Amino acid sequence: MGKLSKLGFLINPNGNMPKGDIKSKNIEFDFLGLLIETKDGEENTFNGAIKLDEGSIYVEKRSRLNGKVKDSFDIDYDDINQDDIQRIADNRIQFNLADKNLLLKTLDDDMLNNFEYKLINKLTTGSFEIEEKSQLKEAILNIPEEIRKYHDLYKDGIITEEEFENKKKELLNS
């Protein structure tokens, strides 16, 4: 019999493995969520786990019932470009590959944003490191949202008008 890995799926040393090669068993995935694969007009839904490795994008298709890995495959960075990736909604990203489309869905916006930034940066610069300019741009885009959050706290009576104004000035001057 096999043994249980840290991810909770069975590792069978006798070879009864899913179709793809499960090459990384103790990794931290960059995306966990719903994966809808459309190939030759047929749509299949899985729980998906995706890791952006240095040389390729590693994808695991898992059972929606028990989380066991049903299949895995790699997407080479040379086989995808920035135009093949579309953010079609706040919680959805679509990959338009040569032989199939992958739709990723999640309720974790931060995870999806980090996944998208990391992937786009890898495709455009060859590195996972996000440049300081990108981080600064992201921080600037977040300032109005932060002000809205503090305004809501003020409207709900959680903070005073003075505290709201001070925080707004602090954010605008940063």
The CATH number of the domain holding residue 20 is 2.30.29.30
DSSP states of 58-121: EEEEE-TTT--EEEEEEEEGGG--GGGEEEEETTEEEEE-SS-EEEEE-S-HHHHHHHHHHHHH
Q: What is the pLDDT of residues 124-168, one digit of tens each?
A: 887 766 555 555 556 556 778 888 888 888 898 888 999 889 988
- Domain count across the chain: 2
**Cα→Cα distances 79→82, 122, 136, 174, Å:** 11, 13, 30, 41
Question: Any idea what the Cα angle at residue 170 is, between residues 165 and 174, rounded to 5°?
Answer: 150
Looking at the structure, tell me whether residues 95 and 120 fall in a common domain: yes
One domain for residues 7 and 84: yes
Both 10 and 81 in a single domain?
yes
Whether residue 86 is found in the same domain as residue 158: no
Q: What average pLDDT does the structure give for the chain?
A: 79
Q: Domain check: are 54 and 140 in the same one? A: no
- Banded pLDDT at 19 (limits 50, 70, 90): very low
Same domain, 36 and 68: yes
Q: Is 41 helix (H, G, I), strand (E, B) or coil?
A: coil
Write down the number of H helices and E strands in the chain: 3, 9
User: Is residue 138 domain-shared with residue 108, that is, in the same domain?
Assistant: no
pLDDT beyond 70 at 122: yes
pTM of the model as a whole: 0.58
Q: Which of 109, 125, 141 is the last residue of a domain?
A: 125
Identify whether residues 18 and 76 lie together within a single domain. yes
Q: Are residues 86 and 138 in the same domain?
A: no
Contact (CB, 8 A) for 46 and 37: yes
Q: Which two tokens stand for residue 101?
A: 């489309």
Domain that holds residue 85: 3-125
Q: For residue range 45-71, what is the model confidence (pLDDT) as tens digits?
A: 999 889 888 888 999 999 888 888 899
In contact, 77 and 153? CB cutoff 8 Å: no
End-to-end CA distance of the chain: 59
28 and 106 in a single domain? The answer is yes
Helix (H/G/I), strand (E/B), else coil: 48: strand
User: Which of 125, 145, 164 lies at the terminal end of a domain, its last residue?
Assistant: 125
Residue 27's pLDDT is 63
Query: Hey, what amino acid is at 168?
Result: K
